[in-house]
């Protein structure tokens, strides 16, 4: 082989690759700019529709962080259960990323509809106009797809209309407003107190150990729904974080089984489970308990697994940046972010 021609071919291949990707087809990590008091944040509803009362609550929440709020053009639109048509919700997402005056994009709420948008998103627009996208639940679909396509760090955190408790605001400020190299995420004390009455709030170790890897994950139902798509979860060498609400143990079993088979959970570095709210079996159900189900599906993976971290459909929410390096201490039920999520 002519070595000079071979080198030219390799150089040409590199130039032909999409912006932000390398020879392994993995996007280069992009960290959004940190927030500052006085910044304008755009508020969108990319999934289900939202009422005026919740919108006003979201505005007050964000203003309490010292931010100014700009609602998206179509945020009050309604079409069935969605906040307008796919085209309207997509327009709001693109407009907010393109607007140079918007420092970050905060989802007003979750709810079904985000997965419908994924094939039509202009990922190059997002890659060239990076900014923090914040939300959880069904927003998992957007965080996952944007991370896969662009490498942009997204933030699994309270939506604008959530309850902004002191715990929630503390982590929003620590992670979105500060470029700290390391942040230890501690269990919220209210969750521990509630645990005396509700087993779903009791932190526990399913399999001991310490794991390091980049954070990926989100809502279990959405992660399962993305299986088989180009945006599906890739668990290998990652710390996978998972939460859900209102799913009976047999459905949790079904979705975890799907991720075991589709996302190869056995190759994950570790699993960090949040609070699975209202996921217990009914009194007369022929069913394993939620705890028994999680043990059955996750304890044999051979990796550290902890349940009960402070994220999920709960008031006290930490912030989990999708794509940055973290350490999970499953024995102590502790998660540490090893690098800043913003620049």
Catalytic residue annotation: 137, 243, 313
DSSP, residue by residue, 173-239: HHHHS---S-EEEPPPHHHHHHTTT-GGG--EEEE--EEEEEEEEEEHHHHHHTTTSTT----TTEE
Q: What is the DSSP letter of 34?
A: P
In angstroms, the CA 15 to CA 149 distance is: 18
DSSP, residue by residue, 128-168: HS--EEEE-GGGHHHHHHHHHHH-B-EEE---TTS---HHH
CA 239 to chain centre: 12
Longest dimension (CA), the chain: 74
Name the token pair of 247.
Answer: 């799913």
Number of neighbouring beta carbons within 10 Å of residue 25: 8
In angstroms, the CA 158 to CA 264 distance is: 28
Angle at 309 between CA 266 and CA 109, to 5 degrees: 100
- Which sign, positive or negative, has the C-alpha torsion 95, 97, 103, 109? positive
Q: What are phi and psi of 327, to 5 degrees?
A: -125, 130
Closest listed residue to residue 110, CA positions, set 62, 45, 157, 154: 45
List, edge to edge, every strand of the sheet that includes 40-44: 68-71, 40-44, 104-107, 132-135, 154-156, 320-322
Closest listed residue to residue 279, CA positions, set 163, 201, 217: 201
């Amino acid at each position: 082989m002519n070595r000079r021609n071979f080198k030219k071919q390799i150089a040409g291949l590199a130039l032909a690759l999409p912006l932000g990707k390398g020879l392994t087809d993995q996007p280069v990590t992009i960290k959004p700019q940190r927030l500052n008091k006085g910044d304008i944040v755009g508020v969108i509803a990319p999934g289900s529709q939202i009422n005026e009362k919740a919108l006003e609550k979201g505005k007050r929440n964000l203003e309490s962080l010292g931010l100014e709020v700009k609602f998206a053009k179509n945020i009050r639109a309604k079409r069935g259960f969605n906040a307008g048509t796919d085209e309207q919700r997509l327009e709001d997402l693109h407009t907010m990323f393109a607007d140079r005056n918007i420092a970050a994009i905060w989802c007003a709420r979750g709810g079904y509809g985000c997965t419908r948008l994924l094939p039509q998103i202009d990922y190059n627009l997002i890659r060239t106009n990076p900014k923090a996208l914040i939300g959880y639940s069904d927003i998992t679909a957007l965080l996952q797809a944007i991370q896969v396509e662009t490498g942009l760090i997204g933030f699994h955190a309270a939506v604008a209309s959530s309850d902004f408790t002191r715990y929630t605001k503390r982590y929003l400020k620590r992670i979105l407003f500060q470029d700290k190299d390391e942040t230890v995420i501690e269990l919220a004390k209210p969750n521990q107190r509630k645990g005396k009455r509700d087993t779903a709030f009791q932190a526990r170790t399913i399999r001991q150990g310490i794991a390091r890897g980049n954070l990926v994950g989100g809502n279990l139902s959405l992660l399962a729904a993305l299986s088989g798509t180009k945006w599906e979860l890739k668990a290998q060498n990652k710390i996978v974080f998972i939460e859900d609400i209102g799913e009976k143990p047999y459905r949790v079993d079904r979705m975890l089984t799907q991720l075991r088979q589709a996302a190869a959970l056995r190759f994950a570095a570790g699993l960090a489970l949040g609070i699975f709210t209202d996921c217990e079996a009914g009194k007369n159900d022929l069913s394993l308990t939620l705890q028994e189900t999680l043990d059955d599906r996750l304890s044999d993976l051979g990796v550290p697994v902890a349940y009960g971290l402070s994220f999920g459909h709960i008031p006290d929410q930490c912030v989990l940046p999708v794509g940055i390096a973290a350490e999970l201490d499953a024995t102590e039920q502790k998660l540490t972010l090893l690098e800043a999520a913003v620049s």
